[in-house]
Amino acid sequence: MTTENENENNKKIPKHLAIILDGNGRWAKKRHLPRLLGHRAGLRKLENMVRLVKREGIRYFSVYAFSTENWTRPKMEVDGLMSLFRFYIRHKVEEIKAEGARIRFCGRKNKIPEDLLEQMNWAEEYTKDQNILDFILCINYGGRAEIIDAVNKIIDSGQKNITEEDLRKNFYLPDVPDPDLIIRTSGELRLSNFWLWESAYSEYYFTDTYWPDFDEAELKKALEDYAGRDRRYGGLKK
Ligand code: IPE
Ligand code: IPE
Ligand code: MG
């Protein structure tokens, strides 16, 4: 399900770019600010990133914004994050739509406050005809949860033996191709339950920069690095 893409300069670009938005808390701490201000700065960064990613010719852009494990954080931080998501959706949908981007959410729908869920559904519906970029916000997403949810759907259907394709068809966003490149900011070298199944042949790029400081130059550096990678998928070098 992974396809190579090239831009007009024949440079290899990811069709699906995924970013693990990490380091908001440490960004705030460094400035003696509350963690939530770090999260606010992080969400702000996304606005511009959608534009930049689109300009690079990327077709799918997914971001890990809240994991199934992030509910274990203090209630104040979780509530604050949910409010920031509300604010972001309410105020940014128009701009994102104007960029030709379709907003999609990926993750479990339980636990998310009812009003936020309604807003998410509205934003998806409101932007569904945009087809330049799919901007995918992973909220209450966990790779293990996604696999388990897919397996349970298949069990409910009565099917006994499954193939990889059956599983894939039951994922949250079955039409979205696997991520070609996964960037993680803030110096952590792990996946933390993001795109677990889908990342089987993804390329990784790690940077020490905290997410709120990630900028165009950083993005270009990551894409440059990706363009030089040799992807073999277990086969022989072409
Ligand atoms: C990433 O920033 C955003 C979320 C996980 C919600 P963190 O909040 O994990 O920031 P650090 O890792 O503590 O710096
Ligand atoms: C991963 O970051 C989840 C998101 C960025 C949403 P975390 O900060 O939650 O991951 P760990 O705890 O460092 O692995
Ligand atoms: Mg973190």
What percent of the chain stands above pLDDT 70?
96
Tens of pLDDT, residues 88-144: 999 999 999 999 999 999 999 999 999 999 999 999 999 999 999 999 999 999 999
Among 19, 20, 26, say which to mutate for ligand 1: greatest number of ligand atoms within 8 Å of CB.
Answer: 26
pLDDT at 9 over 70: no
Q: Is 172 helix (H, G, I), strand (E, B) or coil?
A: coil
Alpha carbon of 23 to ligand 3 centroid (Å): 5
Which residues are registered as beta bridge partners of 102? 134
Q: How far is the CA of 81 from the centre of ligand 2 (A)?
A: 14
Cα gap 135→133, rounded to integer Å: 6
pLDDT tens track for 193-216: 999 999 999 999 999 999 999 999
CA distances from 96 to 91, 154, 159, 172, 215 (A): 10, 35, 40, 22, 18
Active-site residue list: 22, 70
**Ligand 1 near 24 CB (within 6 A):** yes
